[in-house]
Amino acid sequence: MSALPSNAMNLAQQEAVNYLHGPCLVLAGAGSGKTRVITHKIGRLIQMGLAPQRIAAITFTNKAAAEMRERAKGLIGKPAGEVLICTFHALGVRMLRANGTVLGLKPQFSILDTDDVTSILKDAGGSTDAATARAWQWTISAWKSAGLNAAQAQAVAANDTERLASVVMARYEERLTAYQSVDFDDLISLPLKLLREHADVRAQWQTRMGHVLVDEYQDTNATQYEMLKLLVGCEPDGSRAAHLDGDARFTAVGDDDQSIYGWRGATLDNLKKLPIDFPKLKVVKLEQNYRSTSAILRAANNVIGPNPKLFPKNLWSDLGEGEPVRVVDADNEEHEAERTVARIQSLRVNGLASPDAAPGRPKQGTAPSGGSAVHAVTSVGAQQYREFKDFAVLYRANHQAKPFEKALRKANIPYKVSGGQSFFDRAEIRDLCAWFRLWANNDDDPAFLRAITSPKRGIGHQTLGSLGVFASKYKLSLFEALFSSSLAAVLQARAVGSLHEFGRYVNDLQFRAKHTQGAENARVFLTDWLKEIGYEKHLHDGEETEKLAAAKWSNVLEFCDWMAQRCGGQIDDTAGVATSREVKNLLEVSQTIALLSTISERENDQNVVTLSTLHAAKGLEWPHVMLVGVTEGMLPFKLREQAAEAEATPVTTASAQEAGEAHLQEERRLMYVGITRAQRSLAVSWTKRRKKGRELVAALPSRFIAEMALDKATAKEDPREKLRALRAEFAARAAIPKT
């Protein structure tokens, strides 16, 4: 591999990249080029003689892993394909497929999705209410993220609701064991159990992990931190593994100011623990921002300032002062949406008032390509940053999108709502995935029930109910039960015959899928299979219009083509379960399907305005950002209501006060994340009245607007006035007679 270009990095980035022989924490501020640091460090490790197979780079989303893999390939070349670049969950799948037998899991275990989990929890808790099941799911997930099993959860349950949830959790775990299935939380908790309780497995993975890099470290939960410690050479008692030389070798890259996932278990305690658990930890701060102008960064630094600092830092930029941050007030949500649309139209027509200096725009929807020590500062004229894809409207909660959708449609402005329905959440795709899961794992009862009824095969609910009772009585999976010689005692011969026919067909498909390798063979197999089960007719029979049925069939064909391409090694394994573009059989591909949340080929660079929640926008950036609905009660979210409840309580405990303060700090970090998505311009809007149920109630601007400490002389604007002036100017020009 050729020498890496050190002049492409600033001094802090070079320091982080060149520290190879011990634990390292890289505090990477927003837009400071952290992905560049990670990919260059991978290259430096390989350059210094560490085998690519012994390097792991772990992140939190499939999209981030895919981007990192592509960036590493561009920098390093072929060796990047041998580096393990994946999500925590994909790493968990690898570990369980390789070593899960010691926990009683067969390698072909199934990974359940959210709907499957909800269904099993209803059964385990004897409830038909989906909301109750979802509440149990959140509670159980929180316990698993904290590293607790059902018995431990029962011991810490604080009230009757939690005690009931712990009982449901025990029954739920029994069912998962019977189904040879895991949920997404298990993909972290079970590998941790492997590492803690099985010394040989722990030694195997510690030897394999020559250096571990963790992206977005501030988003890790307690279980992930314990897993990381064991992977990099710690023993369960905290001591260093005897078979390893030197200090723990890992690089944690994160930013305490961007920790916004406390509601799903992420904890800043993991940052606090690093210097304690690893006394030789080297800390490197990346404070130069390559994304935003100085005006935007100043507002961000001011907002985050009141939060306590684990590792103080101050973002700065050499991209020029730029356009002042604007504050826009509105009468209500509809008025706010109109003003937002007017601002988009104004910027598209006239550009910015002061385009003296601004960053070059990387590809939309990705982390910045920034990180060059001598970053090209583009002098931007009125012709740039006018495409619809250069604009984003960000808000705190999904329900806030509706008035903006209406206003954009009225103005004929194309848009997309980020975080909409996943391709894999569509009913037709879930049907096919159920079949794939059943091929891979015959004990997957939820997959069995969906596959046998999609399409319907003349096997009714009564037959399936009797089969379920029989399977439960003899502790068998539904698939095992249908071949039992005793089944004829509880079902009519015709029903048993239909079940046997289905079972034999699944076995045949499983055999054929295992021996179907390569893209073209997989495409033929899937096409024939869809004809055999009559799936196109099933779609047309089930839909009211031909148009809707045709759209669903188009999704099915696209999905099957995508599966075939993965069999042929034509598509990278987005989840990171495989590290190279290898040809696979269809059964192997079907085993990893549950880890994938989107089909990457569908994510083309659409020229549309983006509507997104602040949480979904993390890691992305746009030239023009509008933060909307920035009122007390929305951002920070429901803080006033919580304070009122606390005042009404006779005794306000210290823990309640601490929880309230922690909530405010996380909301402030969320505001900081929103501000730092903007490259060239930022507008923050609030409404004087907002809807609460069916009523309009008075609203106040968020405290965070004041904390931005903007220049009062330049901050406030009315985009409608600018648009009226522009229209008047165009009208005047049109009235001038042509000579």
Q: Exposure of 376 by Cβ count < 10 A (0-12 exposed, 13-18 middle, 19+ buried)?
A: exposed
Nearest to 505, CA basis, from 476, 538, 472, 483: 483
Tell me which residue has tokens 């394909």. Answer: 81
Catalytic member of 123, 173, 215, 219: 215
Q: Exposure of 458 by Cβ count < 10 A (0-12 exposed, 13-18 middle, 19+ buried)?
A: exposed
Reply yes or no on whether 677 is catalytic. Answer: yes
Catalytic member of 13, 14, 35, 345: 35
DSSP assignments along 322-389, one per residue: -SPPEEEEESSHHHHHHHHHHHHHHHHHH--S--S-EEPP--TTS------TT--EE---TTSS-SGG
Catalytic member of 13, 258, 591, 592: 258
The C-alpha atoms of residue 100 and residue 44 are separated, in whole angstroms, by 33
What residues form DSSP beta bridges with 254?
Answer: 27
Strand 609-613 and strand 358-359: pairing?
Answer: unpaired
The C-alpha atoms of residue 107 and residue 410 are separated, in whole angstroms, by 53
Task: Establish whether the linkage from the previous residue to 324 is cis, with ω within 30° of 0.
Answer: no
Helical segments of 568-695, H only: 586-591, 614-617, 639-648, 654-675
Cβ neighbours around 499 below 10 Å, total: 23
Reply yes or no on whether 61 is catalytic. Answer: no
Catalytic member of 34, 193, 326, 703: 34
The C-alpha atoms of residue 639 and residue 265 are separated, in whole angstroms, by 20
Reply yes or no on whether 35 is catalytic. Answer: yes
DSSP 3: P
For the chain, the 3-state helix, strand and coil shares in percent, each to the nearest 5, are 55, 10, 35
Catalytic member of 94, 450, 668, 677: 677
Catalytic member of 183, 216, 219, 226: 216
Nearest to 674, CA basis, from 617, 723, 716: 617
Reply yes or no on whether 97 is catalytic. Answer: no
Tokens, residue 422: 């996943």
Task: Establish whether the linkage from the previous residue to 636 is cis, with ω within 30° of 0.
Answer: yes
Contact by Cβ (8 Å): 257, 289: no
Contact by Cβ (8 Å): 318, 375: yes
Reply yes or no on whether 703 is catalytic. Answer: no
**Whats the size of the chain, residue-wise?**
739
Tell me which residue has tokens 């890992």. Answer: 250
**Residues with Cβ within 8 Å of residue 451, at least 6 apart in sequence:** 431, 434, 435, 438, 506
CA-based R_g, the chain, Å: 28
Reply yes or no on whether 215 is catalytic. Answer: yes
Tell me the catalytic residues: 34-35, 215-216, 258, 677
